[in-house]
Chains A and B, each alone.
Chain A
Amino acid sequence: MIAHAIFFYTFSIIAVVSAIMVTASKNTVHSVFFLILDFISISCLFIMIGAEFLGMIMLIVYVGAVAVLFLFVVMMLNVAQQKNQWFAGQTTSKHIPVGLIISTVIFFEIIIVIGGWKYKPEIFDINNSLANTSVSNTHSLGQILYTDYIHVFQISGMILLVAMVGAIVLTFRQRSGLKRQSYIKQISRERAEGVEVLEVQSNKGVKIDD
């Protein structure tokens, strides 16, 4: 049990500290690296409570894909603005009140949820009969997701798809005058249409590709 506690506190301290460092660090790329550290320690916490599927999916989706794209964008920004660190010198910002309001709202929401969960468990209709410890949590997740909540699951997938299509539509520009390559054309080219043998008369020259 002691080892469990030691691991739990190590991972949670790393998670909290790196979460703070995400906002506190001056270098944007460092923030993203702290975000990755945060994701990793949270997925370790997931694995510790026995939700190994969630932990691994967290690792694959957030760390393996989303954070890479984050890093990608931030690195691009950083290369352009390496010299003028645009918020290094400023000590105050006008965004602070907005941030404060949002964080208070989130704080109270968390208080309500945790308090309700602790003192009025009947409000949250957690169907404990579904939790079956004999099967692995991958199986139980699949059994719930694809039976009782299939429509919600499909709708959330559709929402993601719509977001993706929307992003593509918003950024898509039809550019004219581009040379496009056709792989079929390139591969099926024969020697006859690519090479031409000409008799060149001295001091006359030939015209090709006019």
Chain B
Amino acid sequence: MEYLSIVFQEVYKILFLLVPVLVSVAMIVWLDRRVWAFVQKRQGPNVVGPFGLLQSLADALKYIFKEIIIPSSSNKVIFILAPIVTMTLALIAWAVIPFSATQVLADINVGILYLFAVSSLGVYGIIMGGWASNSKYPFLGAIRSAAQMVSYEVSIGVIIINVLLCVGSLNLNDIVIAQQNMWFVIPLFPMFVIFFISALAETNRPPFDLPEAEAELVAGYQTEYSGMMYAMFWLGEYANILLMCAMGAILFLGGWMSPIDVYPFTLVPGAIWLILKILLLFILFALVKAIVPRYRYDQLMRLGWKVFLPLSLIWVVLTASYLFYFNLLPVN
């Protein structure tokens, strides 16, 4: 009986986390389209509901009622598994995101490694979808995407090492608390910029949306998908983008901490601050989508391996030597 109550409590907590995440994914799609339209002096979705807020809901309803087509020559099990993998991976990562010092589903010791691991697994949904479709365009898209995501993961990993050097712990709450005096975006600003660009590439956002470059590859790995399966890919993609924004907010923008440590600001709960920071980063993501043209594939690879990786490695050496020389290394 005691066991069951614990299980129910956990399920309740998980639902309390996942339902807002899913709703905010739907909202964020609307925000993305509105920002995009705003930059291009268009209206964007504004018909369904007030300000078009219910547009995503309408889209989701449409997808639910569409037929799911499974190509006859596809590998059916993997074809069906691919969107499920994408969606699951995008959602399980939220377990370790701290919304305040105590509001976190799983306060594990290696939180940042868990986040990194889950985001690096995200490539499987795309590869599986691309391969199982048994069609040329999805396959090319999947291969592009695999190479791209593996490349940019390396630089994200090195950037995380930079932050960890300043924190001395892999726990996400410790990382947030270490930024009490100064957000890491100030001393590690170049790393923040590289992290932001790498996050764009990691989530296949424009200007790095080569896996689904519609002019060349129809829709990349999603070409053969339809109905709810397509919608799941799409939801997973946006959940991943939100996750990357949350990661950026925690690593560089002080997570759930208020920007100024004075009276009226400290009253606001940490979750609100985290959400505001995630939104700020997401609006940057959306702006980049609206104003930057797509990269060429070789330029993308060059940027990842020849520019970002050396730069972030050099920054690791710099950070480490600075901390060592001024005796600032976090030792506990």
Q: Shortest beta-carbon distance, A45 to chain B, in Å?
A: 15
Whether A68 pairs with B109 at a CB distance below 8 angstroms is no
The answer, among A69, A71, A79, A136, for a CB contact under 8 Å with B109, is A136
Binds B, one of A58-66, A157-165, A192-200: A58-66
Q: Does A9 contact B (CB under 8 A)?
A: no
Whether A56 pairs with B121 at a CB distance below 8 angstroms is no
Q: Does A53 contact B (CB under 8 A)?
A: yes
The answer, among A64, A138, A183, for a CB contact under 8 Å with B121, is A64
The answer, among B78, B110, B153, B299, for a CB contact under 8 Å with A52, is B110
Please tell me the number of chain B residues within 8 Å of chain A, measured between CB atoms: 27
The answer, among B110, B117, B150, for a CB contact under 8 Å with A138, is B110
**Interface of A, helix, strand, loop or mixed by DSSP:** helix
Whether B114 pairs with A68 at a CB distance below 8 angstroms is no
Q: What size tier do the contact residues of chain A reach? A: 20 to 34
The answer, among B3, B75, B146, for a CB contact under 8 Å with A68, is B146
Whether B109 pairs with A138 at a CB distance below 8 angstroms is yes
Whether A68 pairs with B113 at a CB distance below 8 angstroms is no
Whether B114 pairs with A56 at a CB distance below 8 angstroms is yes
The answer, among B3, B75, B120, for a CB contact under 8 Å with A65, is B120
Q: Does B170 contact A (CB under 8 A)?
A: yes
Q: Shortest beta-carbon distance, B11 to chain A, in Å?
A: 15
Q: Does A7 contact B (CB under 8 A)?
A: no
Chain B positions within 8 Å of A137 at CB level? 109
Q: Does A72 contact B (CB under 8 A)?
A: yes
Whether B139 pairs with A56 at a CB distance below 8 angstroms is no
Chain A positions within 8 Å of B117 at CB level? 56, 59-60, 63-64
CA–CA, A53 and B113, complex, Å = 8
Whether A60 pairs with B120 at a CB distance below 8 angstroms is yes
The residue in B127, B143, B157 that gathers the most chain A C-beta atoms within 10 A of its C-beta is B127
Q: Does A14 contact B (CB under 8 A)?
A: no
Chain A positions within 8 Å of B114 at CB level? 56
Whether B146 pairs with A60 at a CB distance below 8 angstroms is no
Whether A71 pairs with B153 at a CB distance below 8 angstroms is no
Q: Does B192 contact A (CB under 8 A)?
A: no
CA–CA, A137 and B153, complex, Å = 24
Q: Does B253 contact A (CB under 8 A)?
A: no
The answer, among A36, A72, A75, A138, for a CB contact under 8 Å with B170, is A138
CA–CA, A83 and B299, complex, Å = 36
Closest 5 CB pairs of A and B: A64-B120, A56-B113, A59-B117, A60-B117, A136-B109
Query: Apart from A3-B3, A56-B117, A63-B120, what 4 extra A-B contacts exist at CB < 8 Å?
Result: A29-B78, A59-B121, A68-B150, A79-B139
11 CB-based A-B contacts, threshold 8 Å: A33-B78, A36-B124, A53-B113, A60-B116, A63-B121, A64-B123, A64-B153, A65-B153, A75-B139, A183-B299, A183-B302
